[in-house]
């Protein structure tokens, strides 16, 4: 299961996490975001124990989304030790996302 970030818990969870983190900035009304959801669930399952996945609804967590400069959705932000190391926007195939993850885990 992918945990939901909000303005109250987001910064703390992202800054304290020791693993590679992937944050999916999305909105419930966004069709590409909904299309990406099963891909992210599959990636979370395939990378369990190595990567932490979070979702952040831009309409529910406006402050956190603004702090990360989210301008389009879906946007995935990859973080290590609280710092952004990669960002990708738009609907992206699972194999491309897994390749990014694999590269960051090396």
Which positions are catalytic? 30, 33
Q: Mapping DSSP to helix (H, G, I), strand (E, B) and coil, where does residue 67 land?
A: helix
Determine if residue 2 is left, alpha or beta; phi over 0 gives left, psi from -120 to 50 gives alpha, anything else beta.
beta
- Token output for 49: 């124990």
Can you name the residues that pair with 21 across neighbouring β-strands? 52, 79
């Amino acid at each position: 299961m992918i945990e939901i970030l909000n303005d109250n818990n987001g910064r703390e969870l992202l800054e304290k996490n020791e693993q590679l983190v992937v944050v999916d900035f999305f909105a419930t009304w966004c069709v590409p975001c909904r299309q990406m959801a099963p891909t992210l669930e599959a990636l979370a399952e395939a990378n369990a124990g190595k990567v932490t996945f979070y979702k952040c609804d831009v309409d529910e967590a406006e402050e956190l989304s603004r702090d990360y400069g989210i301008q389009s959705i879906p946007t995935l932000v990859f973080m290590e030790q609280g710092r952004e190391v990669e960002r990708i926007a738009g609907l992206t195939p699972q194999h491309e996302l897994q390749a990014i993850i694999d590269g960051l885990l090396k």
